[in-house]
Amino acid sequence: MVKPRFGQHFLIDQAVAQREVAAAGLTKEDIVLEIGPGKGIITALLAEQAKQVIAIEIDTHLVEELRKKIPENVTLICQDALTVDFDCLPRFTKIVSNLPFQISSPIMFKFLQSSFSIAVLIFQKDFAERLVASPGSKDYSRLTVGVSYKARCRILEMVPRDCFSPPPKVDSAVVELIPYKTPRFLVKDEPFYFELTKQLFNHRRKKIRYTIRSLYRDIEDLPFLDQRVEQLTPEQIGQLSDKLYEHL
């Protein structure tokens, strides 16, 4: 029985699964993390190409079914992936998943706290477009800024909704995520930068001057005061954050 609360839209197009796995460029050295193996269409391909697969699935019924057919190099964990301590897993090198849409954002930030060389992920199309959006576009958001600080992100292909069963209401996209070895730019205080980004995007149409005034006080010696956050690049938000941090 399909459980909509777990975002269960199973991939039924083998060619899409093969392209997604191929994009990760797996070797027999790789340990791959997969969130939500479902019925195992991607898991089977990962197991063929990688040394080990760690698959975390929340649905006990699916886990029981998977246990009957997975190869020996797949470690199956039946748990909510958001509650798993990734530091306690074998050191994975890559991530490949068709993610449940309900956890797209928190799992993405959880990934970015860990170390890996590439992630190839299927997201709903609108989420994928927010990940790669440019400043000034309607999709540019806190998510774009947060992710682009840590990783290079691009859409590899769009996946029509009829490639899934049951079909979701929207199309999906395969996204490649490659973390920077060192951050793209440095900020004086990362938590402050992320918190400021969040606050500014909560008022994305307001001039920065007014948001800063309501959050802190009137500070004139800051860049970009007469602009809106949606127009600033992640680096420019970093410059603003550093200057503001000096004042506080």
Binding flag, residue 245, ligand SAM (CB under 6 A):
no
Q: In this structure, are strands 74-78 and 118-124 parallel, antiparallel, or unpaired? A: unpaired
The continuous run of DSSP H or E covering 198 comes out as: helix 190-202
Binding flag, residue 100, ligand SAM (CB under 6 A):
yes
DSSP state of 133: P
CB atoms within 10 A of CB 26: 23
In Å, what is the CA distance from 166 to each residue of 4, 59, 98, 169, 181?
Answer: 10, 17, 14, 10, 39
Among 21, 31, 32, 35, the residue binding ligand SAM under the rule CB under 6 A is 35
Interface region with ligand SAM, contact rule CB under 6 A, candidates 24-32, 58-66, 212-220, 240-248: 58-66
Binding flag, residue 80, ligand SAM (CB under 6 A):
yes
Binding flag, residue 41, ligand SAM (CB under 6 A):
yes
Interface region with ligand SAM, contact rule CB under 6 A, candidates 24-32, 51-59, 125-133, 174-182: 51-59
**Which amino acid belongs to residue 111?**
F
Residues 6+ apart with CB under 8 A from 32: 24, 26, 46, 50, 52, 53, 54, 92, 93, 94, 95, 96
Binding flag, residue 74, ligand SAM (CB under 6 A):
no
Among 24, 47, 54, 58, the residue binding ligand SAM under the rule CB under 6 A is 58
For 130, list phi and psi in degrees, rounded to 5.
-70, -35
Binding flag, residue 7, ligand SAM (CB under 6 A):
yes
Closer CB to ligand SAM, residue 9 or residue 94?
Answer: 9
Least Å from the CB of residue 194 to ligand SAM: 23
Least Å from the CB of residue 28 to ligand SAM: 22
Closer CB to ligand SAM, residue 56 or residue 74?
Answer: 56
Binding flag, residue 81, ligand SAM (CB under 6 A):
yes
Least Å from the CB of residue 179 to ligand SAM: 21
Closer CB to ligand SAM, residue 6 or residue 245?
Answer: 6
Closer CB to ligand SAM, residue 131 or residue 159?
Answer: 159
* Pair 47, 30: CB distance under 8 Å: no
- Residues that bind ligand SAM (rule: CB under 6 A) add up to a total of 24
> Would you call 88 exposed, middle or buried from its count of C-beta atoms within 10 A (0-12, 13-18, 19+)?
exposed
Residues 6+ apart with CB under 8 A from 88: none
CA distance 213 to 226: 12
Residues that bind ligand SAM (CB under 6 A): 6-11, 35-39, 41-42, 56-59, 62, 80-82, 98, 100, 103
